[in-house]
C-alpha cells in the first residue's frame, strides 16, 4: 500500500510478538515514513471445523436460508425463534465467534531515510492464552499519519 515498499518477511517470534522485514527500491533514500499493521488470528482444529461445517451447510449458512420466503412458507405453525442455547453451543455453531481471537499490533518507521532492509518488531494487543494449531497473519504497510518531531 506504500509505493516502492514491500513486505519481504514476517516472523512469529512468540504468541504475542511479530517481526516484519521491509524493503524499498528507492535510490535517493527519501522514503516516506510508514506504519506497519499486523492482524493475527489463532485457530485450533475445532474452530476450522466449525467454519467449514457452517459454510458447507448451504441450506442454512449462519442462520440464513436464501430459499425461504417467509410469506410463502410460514403458515403460522412454526416459530421463528429458537430455544436459547448455551454459550458453548453458540460458539460451535457461529463461525463469527472466531473473531474473538483476533490480535492486532502496529509499529512505525518515522525516519524518512530508513535503510532497506529494515525489520520492525511489534507486540500484539489482546494476549491470548489459547492453544492454536494455525496462526493466520495479515500484514500491511501504510503511510505514516502520526505527528513527526521536527529535528533542528
Report pLDDT digits (tens) over 15-50: 889 999 999 887 776 778 999 999 998 888 887 787
Sequence-separated (6 or more) residues with CB below 8 Å from residue 132: 42, 43, 44, 101
pLDDT tier for residue 126 given thresholds of 50, 70 and 90: confident
Residue 134 CA to residue 52 CA, distance in Å, equals 15
State pLDDT tens for residues 49-74.
877 777 776 555 445 554 544 444 44
Please give the order of strands across the beta sheet that includes 102-109: 102-109, 34-43, 134-143
Triad 25, 124, 136: Cα angle to 5°: 75
Residue with cell 497473519: 137
Among 140, 134, 141, 143, which residue's Cα sits nearest to residue 39? Answer: 140
Enumerate the domain spans of the chain: 5-42+102-143
State pLDDT tens for residues 65-100.
545 444 444 444 444 444 444 444 444 556 677 788
pLDDT, position 137:
93
pLDDT, position 86:
43
Amino acid at each position: 500500500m506504500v509505493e516502492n515498499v514491500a513486505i519481504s518477511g514476517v516472523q512469529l517470534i512468540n504468541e504475542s510478538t511479530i517481526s516484519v522485514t521491509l524493503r524499498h527500491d528507492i535510490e535517493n533514500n527519501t522514503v516516506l515514513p510508514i506504519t506497519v499493521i499486523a492482524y493475527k488470528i489463532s485457530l485450533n482444529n475445532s474452530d476450522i471445523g466449525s467454519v467449514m461445517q457452517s459454510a458447507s451447510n448451504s441450506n442454512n449458512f449462519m442462520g440464513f436460508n436464501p430459499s425461504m420466503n417467509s410469506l410463502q412458507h410460514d403458515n403460522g405453525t412454526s416459530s421463528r425463534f429458537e430455544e436459547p442455547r448455551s454459550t458453548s453451543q453458540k460458539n460451535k455453531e457461529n463461525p463469527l465467534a472466531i473473531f474473538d481471537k483476533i490480535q492486532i499490533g502496529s509499529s512505525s518507521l518515522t525516519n524518512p531515510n530508513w535503510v532497506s532492509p529494515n525489520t520492525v518488531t511489534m507486540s500484539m494487543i489482546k494476549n491470548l492464552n489459547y492453544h492454536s494449531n494455525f496462526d493466520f497473519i495479515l500484514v500491511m504497510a501504510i503511510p505514516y499519519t502520526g505527528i513527526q518531531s521536527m529535528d533542528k
